[in-house]
């Protein structure tokens, strides 16, 4: 085999703080310094985003160059000599941080980001002490947008690094946030400065994950949940999403990718919840309903030749994706599965089936969910989500908020024993666990649908359907030929089921635009709003980057492999709820409680 050396990049040699290093051509000074484990502080820089170079905190000194270049933006050059800790550099960085603080509402002890604020960390490192510059905060007419049920935007804490703007534009292709005005009037704003809930914001929370200060935070409901727990007249039920159990440890000092399911359950019980249940139960239920819905649509299209059937069918469990399609592709709302998300299915069943089984009055039951997602807060407050006769999910907490509650309770998380979910809506399968990663819903659905149609297990080793396992930063297409079907499914004989998996709304936009333009022909689409799926959700522990998300993904699949049951239709509690309460998939009771429709929204 001939080696063309096309993939071998030219090496650039330079010296940083007296140490020689070689890096690939095109690398930045910051990347070269990190190769030597030399720390250069940053604020506007983020691994997931394009380089901006506008905060200047990462300035370094280059010999024979008068100005101080930004390490995050300056490419290396041959023979370059860099100093990262000279007096000139240290004074420049300190003054930059001081200037940022002069316009920053630095009431740190009351800030939600206290302790994890990057600006606070830099100020502490640099011993800023007495301010060198005038406090300009009183001169600014800062606004705080608190109208949204999911995200709070506080301009008084914004340092205008534009991470949020780049996140919204590059990763999500939403552009709900942008830069307005110039000079000292410059600010991060929305379309005509409307509140977030009035614009195209999908509430995905990716901006919150990357904001270095408290300018963007989730609306927290910690106090309301404590009040419910302490109220002896209330029965408080909590559900936990699959992506929480592989990330919660990070919020409590553990390394990324640790599976903490048992300790999480133990912590929730010690916090005082009356019943600790699992969203994975309704993830399995979602697969039964959604799988049957897909088969129903395929039958109408292929056998009945119904021209009105909406294909491809798209998943509907990601609330950020739902709001995105309502704004951007409202003509395809009919293509969404009518299934509610597992969170909302769970809430509806808590106020009906669970209350019936436990002989409880639904008005005295408080339904709490722990989610990796800020958009789930918005979803729980949708008017469509009250099919039980009550608000189906009363409060949504993020993984971060649960971490705070555990700390508030004084629990030593790592020393807690492994405990199990309570019964009645607490049992689940490996298929439900993989809902937490991109491609997981697709894989779980195929595990069940293929077996329903053929009577055989999907022919992949260990049930691992790797062709549909999504990869962060790309659109994954796959097809599955269906052969030797049962007689009642004869219309599917020889059909090649065409699927596509996308994560991040920028990729969702590409997929839907291709469908709209007639460039793509799919049967089944899975969309997750966040990079990597729910494991990269806007409510997950901070910081976030691709390496952290990869470790979470590995933990998800490890948890799946360790489950005794790995197909949704084999969950005994799911089988029981159909027998005792729901009747049959897509039946009257299911449509009443587990299905919904969504509303077209304007972009502006």
Catalytic residue list: 290, 293, 317, 337, 376, 379, 384, 534
Kindly report the number of other CB atoms within 10 A of residue 514's CB atom: 15
- For helices 261-271 and 399-408, give the axis angle rounded to 10 degrees: 60
User: 491 exposed, middle or buried (CB, 10 Å; 0-12, 13-18, 19+)?
Assistant: middle
**DSSP category for residue 223:** H
- Whose CA is closest to 348, among 589, 578, 573? 589
Contacts of 171 (CB under 8 A, 6+ apart): 48, 49, 206, 504, 505, 506, 531
Residue with tokens 């039951």: 365
- Whose CA is closest to 414, among 525, 535, 254, 289? 254
Number of H helices, E strands in the chain: 20, 17
Token pair of 187 as six digits: 């600010």
CB 42 within 8 A of CB 57: yes
- Whose CA is closest to 174, among 326, 348, 358, 63? 326
User: 307 exposed, middle or buried (CB, 10 Å; 0-12, 13-18, 19+)?
Assistant: exposed
CA of residue 246 relative to chain centroid, distance:
13
Distance CA 239, CA 242 (A): 10
**DSSP category for residue 581:** I
Kindly report the number of other CB atoms within 10 A of residue 116's CB atom: 17
Q: What are the percentages of helix, strand and coil residues in the chain, rounded to 5?
A: 40, 15, 45
- Whose CA is closest to 78, among 8, 12, 30? 12
């Amino acid at each position: 085999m001939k080696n063309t050396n096309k993939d071998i990049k030219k090496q650039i040699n330079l010296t940083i703080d007296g140490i020689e290093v070689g890096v690939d051509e095109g690398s930045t000074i910051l990347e070269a310094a990190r190769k030597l484990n030399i720390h250069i502080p940053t604020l506007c820089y983020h691994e997931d985003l394009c380089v901006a170079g506008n905060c200047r905190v990462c300035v370094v000194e280059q010999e024979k160059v008068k100005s101080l270049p930004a390490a995050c933006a300056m490419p290396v050059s041959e023979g370059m000599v860099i100093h990262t800790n000279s007096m000139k550099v240290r004074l420049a960085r300190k003054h930059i941080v001081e200037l940022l603080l002069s316009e920053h509402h630095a009431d740190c002890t009351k800030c939600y980001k206290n302790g994890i604020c990057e600006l606070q960390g830099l100020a502490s490192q640099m011993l800023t002490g007495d301010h060198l510059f005038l406090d300009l905060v009183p001169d600014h007419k800062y606004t705080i947008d608190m109208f949204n049920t999911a995200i709070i935007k506080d301009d008084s804490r914004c340092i205008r690094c534009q991470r949020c703007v780049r996140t919204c534009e590059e990763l999500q292709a939403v552009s709900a946030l942008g830069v307005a005005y110039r000079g000292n009037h410059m600010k991060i704003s929305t379309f005509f400065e409307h509140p977030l809930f009035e614009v195209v914001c999908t509430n995905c929370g990716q901006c919150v994950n990357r904001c270095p200060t408290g300018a963007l935070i989730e609306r927290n409901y910690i106090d309301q949940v404590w009040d419910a727990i302490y109220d002896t007249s209330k029965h408080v039920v909590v559900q936990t999403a699959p992506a929480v159990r592989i990330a919660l440890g990070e919020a409590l000092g553990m390394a990324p990718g640790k599976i903490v399911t048992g300790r999480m359950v133990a912590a929730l019980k010690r916090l005082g919840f009356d019943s600790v249940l699992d969203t994975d139960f309704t993830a399995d239920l979602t697969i039964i309903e959604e799988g049957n819905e897909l088969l129903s649509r395929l039958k109408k299209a292929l056998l009945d030749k119904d021209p009105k059937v909406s294909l491809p069918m798209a998943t509907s469990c990601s609330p950020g994706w739902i709001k995105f399609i309502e704004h951007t592709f409202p003509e395809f709302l009919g293509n969404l599965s009518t299934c509610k998300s597992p969170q909302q299915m769970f809430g509806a069943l808590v106020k009906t089936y669970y209350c019936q089984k436990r002989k409880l009055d639904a008005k005295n039951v408080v339904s709490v969910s722990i989610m990796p997602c800020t958009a789930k807060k918005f979803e729980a407050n949708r008017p469509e989500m009250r099919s039980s006769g009550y608000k189906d999910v009363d409060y949504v907490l993020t993984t971060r908020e649960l971490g705070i509650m555990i700390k508030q309770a004084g629990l030593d998380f790592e020393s807690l024993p492994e405990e199990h979910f309570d019964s009645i809506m607490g049992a689940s399968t490996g298929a439900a666990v993989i809902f937490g990663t991109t491609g997981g819903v697709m894989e779980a659905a195929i595990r069940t649908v293929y077996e329903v149609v053929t009577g055989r297990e999907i022919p992949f080793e260990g049930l691992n359907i790797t062709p549909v396992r999504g990869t962060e930063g790309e659109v994954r297409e796959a097809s599955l030929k269906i052969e030797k079907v049962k007689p009642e499914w004869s219309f599917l004989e020889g059909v090649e089921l065409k699927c596509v998996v996308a994560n991040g709304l920028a990729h969702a936009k590409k997929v839907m635009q291709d469908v709209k333009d007639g460039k793509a022909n799919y049967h089944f689409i899975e969309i997750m709003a966040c990079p990597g799926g729910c494991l990269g959700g806007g409510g997950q522990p901070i910081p976030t980057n691709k390496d952290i998300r990869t470790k979470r993904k590995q933990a998800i699949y490890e948890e799946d492999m360790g489950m005794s049951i790995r197909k949704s239709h084999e969950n005994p509690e799911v089988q029981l709820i159909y027998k005792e309460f729901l009747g049959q998939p897509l039946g009257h009771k299911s449509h009443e409680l587990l299905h919904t429709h969504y509303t077209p929204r304007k972009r502006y």
